[in-house]
Chains A and B, each alone.
Chain A
Amino acid sequence: MKIKAIVTLKEGVLDPQGKAIQQTLNGMNFSEVNQIRQGKYFDIEVNIEDEKKAKAKVEEMCKKLLANLVIEDYKIL
Chain B
Amino acid sequence: MKSSVIIFPGSNCDRDMDVALKKFGFKNQMVWHNDLEIPKSDLIVLPGGFSYGDYLRCGSIAAKSKIIKSIIEFANSGGLLLGICNGFQILTETGLLPGILQQNKHQKFICKNVYVKVNSKENKYFKNIKKKILELHIAHNEGNYFCSEEELKSLNNNNQIAVTYCNEDGKESEEFNPNGTLSNIAGIFNKKKNILGMMPHPERMIDKSLSSSDGNFFFENLIENLK
Given the known A-B contacts A65-B56, A65-B60, are A20 and B107 also in contact in the complex, defined by CB atoms under 8 Å? yes
Which one of B97-105, B130-138, B184-192 is at the A interface? B97-105
* A70 proximal to B (CB < 8 A): yes
Contacts between the two chains (Cβ within 8 Å), count: 33
* B57 proximal to A (CB < 8 A): yes
CB pair B146 A70 closer than 8 Å:
yes
CB pair B102 A14 closer than 8 Å:
yes
Q: Which residue of B lies closest to A67 (CB)?
A: B57
Instruction: From A13, A17, A70, A71, give the contact of B107 (CB < 8 A).
Output: A17
Chain B, interface residues (CB within 8 Å), range: 20 to 34
Q: Inside 8 A of B104's CB, which chain A residues have their CB?
A: 16
* A5 proximal to B (CB < 8 A): no
A14–B100 CA distance with the chains assembled, in angstroms = 12
CB pair B100 A71 closer than 8 Å:
yes
Q: Inside 8 A of A17's CB, which chain B residues have their CB?
A: 103, 107
A35–B98 CA distance with the chains assembled, in angstroms = 29
CB pair B180 A68 closer than 8 Å:
no
Distance of B169 from chain A, by nearest CB (Å)? 29
* B227 proximal to A (CB < 8 A): no
Instruction: From B93, B107, B148, give the contact of A68 (CB < 8 A).
Output: B93
Distance of A22 from chain B, by nearest CB (Å)? 13
* B208 proximal to A (CB < 8 A): no
* B19 proximal to A (CB < 8 A): no
Contact with A along B78-121 (1 / 0, CB 8 A): 00000000000000110000111011111100000000000000
Chain A CB within 10 A, most for which of B93, B99, B102, B148: B102
Contact with B along A52-77 (1 / 0, CB 8 A): 00000000000001101011000000
CB pair B64 A65 closer than 8 Å:
yes
Residues of B within 8 A of A (CB): 56-57, 60, 64, 92-93, 98-100, 102-107, 144, 146-148, 180
List 6 additional A-B contacts (Cβ < 8 Å) besides A17-B107, A70-B99.
A14-B105, A16-B104, A16-B106, A17-B103, A68-B57, A70-B147
Residues of A within 8 A of B (CB): 13-14, 16-17, 20, 65-66, 68, 70-71
Q: Which 4 A-B pairs have the closest CB atoms?
A: A70-B100, A16-B107, A16-B103, A71-B100
